[in-house]
Amino acid sequence: MNYWLFKSEPDEYSLSDLKREPGHTGRWDGIRNYQARNFLRDAVREGDGVLFYHSACKVPAVVGTARIARSAYPDPAQFNPESKYCDPKASAENPRWFCVDIQWQSEFPRPVPLAEIKQNPALEEMVLVKQGRLSIQPVTAQEWALLLKLGGTR
């Protein structure tokens, strides 16, 4: 099992939005960064754990957890000319972009703000601290456990 941090702007798609989806499961789509796409396509697997991170907001923070409910498949938005994520270079035979389905697991009793993460010596090597702009990031088992603890859950 692997662990990941998925970033989302809460006014676009929040942890609460995921929880409101049927079966608490939603499609994680619209990824248009090659490194994040490669993680989704090549490494993210059904059953993996996800830290749900709210970004581009007043207090960016890890706010809860999800799990991967379905491994990578072609993002349908790339084929839809009406979508802002349409990619005319993509085809059904050669898709360029991928998505996964994630399922809500928990909301932290206490969100863990980015400022606190950056100040914690045990998290100084975390991708979020070193390369913060990436929307899909690997997380170590130790980072996962510590963030759950800091968030008030196990």
* pLDDT for the residue numbered 150: 98
Tokens (6 digits) for 124: 């100084």
Q: What is the spatial distance between Cα 147 and Cα 5, in angstroms, rounded to a whole number?
A: 11
d(CA 79, CA 140): 34
Which pLDDT score, from 0 to 100, does residue 132 have? 74
Instruction: Give the per-residue pLDDT at 5.
Output: 98
Segment holding 72, helix H or strand E? strand 61-74
Nearest to 111 by CA among 145, 140, 153: 153
pLDDT at 22: 97
Cα 123–Cα 46–Cα 151 angle in degrees, nearest 5: 35
Give the closest residue to 51 by CA, choosing from 122, 115, 138: 138
Decide: pTM greater than 0.85: yes
Q: What is the pLDDT of residue 86?
A: 96
pLDDT of amino acid 83: 95
130 torsion bin: left (phi>0), alpha (psi -120 to 50), beta (else): alpha
The reported pLDDT for the residue numbered 127 is 96
For residue 65, report the phi and psi dihedrals to the nearest 5 degrees.
-130, 155
Query: What pLDDT shows up at residue 154?
Result: 72
Q: What does the alpha-carbon distance between residue 135 and residue 5 come to, in Å, rounded to a whole number?
A: 8
Rg, the chain, Cα only: 15
Tell me which amino acid residue 148 is: L
Q: What is the chain's pLDDT, residue by residue, as a tens digit (154 residues)?
A: 999 999 999 999 999 999 999 999 999 999 999 999 999 999 999 999 999 999 999 999 999 999 999 999 999 999 999 999 999 999 999 999 999 999 999 999 999 999 999 999 999 999 999 987 899 999 999 999 999 999 999 7
- Nearest CA-CA partner of 85 in 42, 41, 28, 137: 28
| C-beta neighbour count of 75 within 10 angstroms | 26
Q: What is the pLDDT of residue 133?
A: 85
